[in-house]
């Protein structure tokens, strides 16, 4: 299918970090600034034969950074992620000029506390939020929001941004980070929380005293985590308008 070139810009990879054989981050330099809000996604495209294969990816970087960053999981049978996985520093791909999405911090409710729950790459939009607030804090503007980030992964090396998030949590009072590992038998050195995100959701709602009167909740990544967490939150009395979700793929496609 023909693509309308004016809707895209070409970006060049300036950095690539492989976190595991199927998880990596890339930083790209755009030709022109891509306006976006923390939490939004960009549409990436790679030309394959006569067509452009496109998918959405949450933006990891802050709008205050000159480069864009993405955190990608390889889906071996997938259309785009194997093409992206082959690209290295100096290679180029396409990005739609318009960022999209409504998975941004809830400012409508007046809630100052934000409980951000992710599976693996689902931490990407939260990184953009955290980096933006951290830059504001560095500039002397105390953030008017508290972030509580709960990230689940099979093994600890999949967290990718753990050092950065631990660093913010050590430095600032407005951010907490809880990583949880679901396959500790494959990661014997792991000493943190064990289970799935939804297994420890209640514990941290209680510990941080988060409820529907003071907090909004965000769920990003694996569709089954999102479905399970939504059930727990509903039973806890969270109204729909205080729960935002970003499904990375459709539920029927993957056994849990
Ligand atoms: C708003 C939004 C933001 C997203 N942000 C990110 C991001 O930051 N990082 C990221 O890696 N992905 C992200 N995704 C998912 C991404 O858009 C692609 O769907 C994913 O990279 C797979 O693309 P693919 O072309 O390789 O596979 P596809 O050809 O699209 O899919 C092949 C099959 O795998 C299933 N599938 C898709 N993703 C996964 C997965 N992760 N695990 C298991 N099965 C899967 C599909 O449902 C399908 O059945 C996001 C999706 C959305 C909607």
Tens of pLDDT, residues 145-202: 999 999 999 999 999 999 999 999 999 999 999 999 999 999 999 999 999 999 999 9
- Among residues 63, 96, 129, the one where a domain terminates is 96
Indicate if 86 and 139 belong to the same structural domain: no
74-123 confidence digits (pLDDT tens):
999 999 999 999 999 999 999 999 999 999 999 999 999 999 999 999 99
Ligand 1, atom 20, lies closest to the CA of 81
pLDDT over 50 (residue 254): no
pLDDT over 60 (residue 255): no
**Ligand 1, pocket-test mutation among 44, 249, 252, 253, most atoms within 8 A of CB:** 249
| 107 within 8 A of 241, measured Cβ to Cβ | no
Indicate if 25 and 73 belong to the same structural domain: yes
Say how many domains are in the chain.
Answer: 2
Ligand 1, atom 51, lies closest to the CA of 248
Residue whose entry in the numeric block shows the structure tokens 């199927």:
22
* CATH classification of the domain holding 210: 3.40.50.80
Q: Which is higher by pLDDT, 67 or 254?
A: 67
Structural domain includes residue 108: no
Structural domain includes residue 160: yes
Q: Which residues form ligand 1's pocket by a CB distance below 6 Å?
A: 41, 55-58, 71-73, 75, 77-81, 101, 121, 124, 246, 248-250, 253-254
Indicate if 90 and 126 belong to the same structural domain: no
Which pLDDT score is estimated for 86? Answer: 98
- What's the DSSP call for residue 128? H
Quote the domain boundaries for residue 210. 113-253
Helix-helix angle 124-138:162-171, to 10 degrees: 40
Q: Which atom of ligand 1 is nearest to the CA of 80?
A: 25
Distance 208 CA to ligand 1 centre (A): 32
Structural domain includes residue 85: yes
Q: Which atom of ligand 1 is nearest to the CA of 75?
A: 26
Indicate if 15 and 62 belong to the same structural domain: yes
Which pLDDT score is estimated for 4? Answer: 77
If we measure between CA atoms, which residue out of 105, 100, 87 comes closest to residue 143? 105
Indicate if 63 and 187 belong to the same structural domain: no
Indicate if 26 and 126 belong to the same structural domain: no
Question: What's the CA gap between 183 and 26, in Å, rounded?
Answer: 26
Continuous segment of H or E residues that includes residue 221: strand 215-221
- Among residues 96, 125, 145, the one where a domain terminates is 96
**Ligand 1, pocket-test mutation among 55, 96, 122, most atoms within 8 A of CB:** 55
* pLDDT (mean) for 122-146: 97
Question: What's the CA gap between 74 and 170, in Å, rounded?
Answer: 31
Confidence bin at 251 (pLDDT 50/70/90): confident
Which pLDDT score is estimated for 2? Answer: 58
Indicate if 73 and 173 belong to the same structural domain: no
Which pLDDT score is estimated for 84? Answer: 98
User: Mean pLDDT across the chain, nearest whole number?
Assistant: 96
Distance 191 CA to ligand 1 centre (A): 30
Indicate if 68 and 123 belong to the same structural domain: no
Structural domain includes residue 106: no
Distance 222 CA to ligand 1 centre (A): 10
If we measure between CA atoms, which residue out of 149, 145, 137, 143 comes closest to residue 204? 149
Indicate if 92 and 118 belong to the same structural domain: no
* CATH classification of the domain holding 59: 2.40.30.10
Question: What's the CA gap between 181 and 193, in Å, rounded?
Answer: 6
Structural domain includes residue 219: yes
Q: Which atom of ligand 1 is nearest to the CA of 101?
A: 1
Which pLDDT score is estimated for 252? Answer: 65
pLDDT > 90: percent of the chain: 96
Indicate if 84 and 117 belong to the same structural domain: no
Chain centroid, CA 137 distance in Å: 21
Q: Which atom of ligand 1 is nearest to the CA of 77?
A: 32
Indicate if 145 and 73 belong to the same structural domain: no
Structural domain includes residue 50: yes
Which pLDDT score is estimated for 256? Answer: 41
Distance 226 CA to ligand 1 centre (A): 15
């Amino acid at each position: 299918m023909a693509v309308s070139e004016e809707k895209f810009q070409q970006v060049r990879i300036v950095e690539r970090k492989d976190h595991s054989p199927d998880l990596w981050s890339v930083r790209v330099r755009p030709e022109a600034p891509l306006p976006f809000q923390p939490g939004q996604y960009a549409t990436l495209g790679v030309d394959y034969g006569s067509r452009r294969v496109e998918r959405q990816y949450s933006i990891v970087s802050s709008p205050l950074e000159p480069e864009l960053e993405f955190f990608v999981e390889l889906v071996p049978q997938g259309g785009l992620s194997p093409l992206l996985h082959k690209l290295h520093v100096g290679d180029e791909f396409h990005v739609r000029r318009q960022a999209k999405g409504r998975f941004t911090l809830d400012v409508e409710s007046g809630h100052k506390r934000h409980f951000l729950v992710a599976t693996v790459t689902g931490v990407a939009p939260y990184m953009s939020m955290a980096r933006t607030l951290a830059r504001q804090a560095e500039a002397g503007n105390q953030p008017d929001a508290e972030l509580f980030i709960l990230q689940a992964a099979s093994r600890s090396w999949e967290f990718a941004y753990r050092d950065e998030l631990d660093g913010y949590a050590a430095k600032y009072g407005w951010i907490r980070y809880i990583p949880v590992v679901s396959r500790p038998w494959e990661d014997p050195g792991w000493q943190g929380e064990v289970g799935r995100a939804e297994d420890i959701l209640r514990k941290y709602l209680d510990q941080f005293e988060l409820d529907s009167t003071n907090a909004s909740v965000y769920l990003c990544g694996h569709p089954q985590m999102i479905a399970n967490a939504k059930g727990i939150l509903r039973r806890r009395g969270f109204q729909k308008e205080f729960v935002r979700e970003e499904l990375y793929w459709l539920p029927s496609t993957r056994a849990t």
